[in-house]
Structure 1
Amino acid sequence: MPITATFTDIYTAVCQFYGRQVQLLDSNRFEEYAHTFTPDGEFQHTPGVPPARTHAGIIEELRRFNTRFADDPVQRRHMFSMLNLTPREDGAYDARFYALVLTTRPGVKEPVVGPSCLVHDVLVIEDGEVRNRSRRVEHDHMFTLA
């Protein structure tokens, strides 16, 4: 979808982008998911694990992370909500939203809920397409009281 200059059109394009991106992730289409990032993109999704950088690095990190499910067949669904999109002076956009992960196992009716997260993205528009420049995920259960 070509992106026009209005904020409403950009917000809509970002929502469409996230819908496509998360379905790639939940379908284990890691190569396609990685290419939703800029070539130098950064992806940090697990506390204590350094960010993955570049398409190849993101693919490698997702494969590494998902080895934990090799003997435990699951369907994971990432639910994104409460998107706040803010233009930056450099032409990119800060996007903050909530993410909740639902994990379902064969034969188990009720999904496991969690983690609950706050996601910080920097998005750019390149050649009419939304791309992630960076993603940092904060897990809610890791918060500390000040």
Structure 2
Amino acid sequence: MSTDQLPTPAGGCAPASLHAEIQQFYARQMHLIEGAGADPEAWAETFTEDAVIELAGDTPDVGREAIRASVAAGVAHIAAQGWDFRHWFGMLDVRPRRDGSVRTRYYALAMATPRGGALDIRGSLVCHDELVRDGSGWLVRHRRLVPDGRPGS
């Protein structure tokens, strides 16, 4: 355990209430960019002003405005294809830090289904987030995405 990580209950798990709170944050966050009601503006607001999103091998998006532009382009592309696009997060590990932030590690599947077609898994990633409190909720300060098969996952 690093020195900035808080002690956790037996087995190294975060308290159940914190784990559930973080799961709910991710569910709400991803629902903001899925389906006909996708709202990239609201999704970008779930990141800090100086947030960073790194996808292994790509230039990172730095700052909420860059993140907003990137996700808006992605949502527009998905809509133009006529896909239903969904995200599934699993195997969530939540680690509270002494400074009040939380580090998470989870697996993500990105799935597309053409209208009337079969599900296609578009990506499988290992995700590493740093979340910070924002009032009673959370914001992402740093997100690192590592596609399966790449070093660092």
Which TM-score band applies after superposition, normalised by the shorter structure?
0.7 to 0.9
CA distance in 2, matches of 1:143, 1:11: 27
**1-structure distance, mates of 2:141, 2:101:** 9
Counterpart secondary structure, 2:32 = helix
Name segments (4+ residues, structure 1) moved above 4 Å: none
Q: 1:44 to 1:66 in 2, by over 3 A?
A: farther
SS of the residue aligned with 1:25? coil
Q: How big is the shift at 1:44? A: 2.4
Report the count of equivalent residues: 137
Identity of aligned residues (%): 29
2:120 corresponds to 1:107: no
The two structures, once aligned, show a CA RMSD in angstroms of 2.0
Unaligned runs of 5+ in 2: 1-13
TM-score (normalizing by structure 2): 0.80
1:41 corresponds to which of 18, 33, 51: 51
- Residue 18 of structure 1 is matched in structure 2 by 26
After superposition, residues 50-129 of structure 1 pair within 5 angstroms as 50-66=59-75, 68-69=77-78, 71-108=80-117, 110-129=118-137
Q: Distance in 2 between matches of 1:101 and 1:124?
A: 24
1:70–1:13 Cα change, 3 Å? closer
Cα distance, 1:52 vs structure 2 = 1.3
Q: How does 1:24-35 map to 2 (within 5 A)?
A: 24-27=32-35, 28-35=38-45
Q: CA deviation at 1:66?
A: 4.2
Q: Letter of the aligned partner of 1:37 in structure 2?
A: F
* Contact 1:13–1:130 under 8 Å retained in 2: no
Cα distance in structure 2, aligned partners of 1:68 and 1:31: 16
Q: Please list the CA deviations of residues 54-113 of structure 1 after superposition, one character each: whole Å capped at 9, or x if unmatched.
A: 2211111113334544642111100001100011232211100000111000121x2001
